[in-house]
Structure 1
Amino acid sequence: MIKSLKEIFIPELRNRSFKGSFPHFRKTENGKTNLLTFQFDRNGGGFIIELANWNEPEFKTHWGKIIKLNKLTAHDLNERQRIYPNTLTEENGKDSWFRYDRKRILSFGNDYDKLSKRVIERIPIMEKYWNEILTE
């Protein structure tokens, strides 16, 4: 799955000026940093995408650690948005994640690539979130 995401989805992020390495990506423009992190199901077979925005030159954790923007991830921030394959919310727990652990009847082609293309289809929702004005 990771190989497929790297080949199909990550180039789309790069085209949008995102930097970083799997699973954490970031883009800083006009003082605002957009973040994307892949979070995989600890039991395997699925993932979601977490997004966050930050508008300061660095991030300070509640225990005082300073994280520079080039190391900041969506997981570092409390305010973040999860992206699912079909909805804006997690309606069915991990069943609503991007799942690649289920065999599909009459499935033709590479299921990993199909799922990576579904991630690309969610880019408009991601961009809407990234373009929101921060209120923090």
Structure 2
Amino acid sequence: MFAEEEIIGKLSICMGTSLEKKEQLPLTLAQMLLNAVRRHEKNGIMYIQENGEDFFQTYPDLLINAQKVLSGLKEKGIQPQNKVIFQLSVNQDFITAFWACVLGGFVPVPINIITSDDPNNATIKKLLNVWQSIVSR
């Protein structure tokens, strides 16, 4: 058994002013992306394509692409809090769809790509279960 003093060790005192927030921190993921666009417009995401080549997408380009997808989802009648199922094999498309959902207030529901037409395939079963849970509400 250790004495309380041994566990705690020596106490320390730190004196100084309170940390100042220079700007409001983002409260949502959408705000986080918008901040990244404003503050880091030349930064972005590096994707590795299936062929091994790199593709760089800046945050402003990501936002523009996500807004285009968001516009299409809204045209289809998707409303905030609706679930959006997507199966996308290209990483850039996946990230764009995810951010479109976040910006629109939709719930992104990504599911693996179906690689087999076997009805007992786990991904097919998962897709059907998710679809049924959404439709039955």
TM class by smaller structure: under 0.3
Higher relative contact order (CA 8 A, sep 6+): 1
Larger Rg: 2
TM-score (structure 2 length as normaliser): 0.23
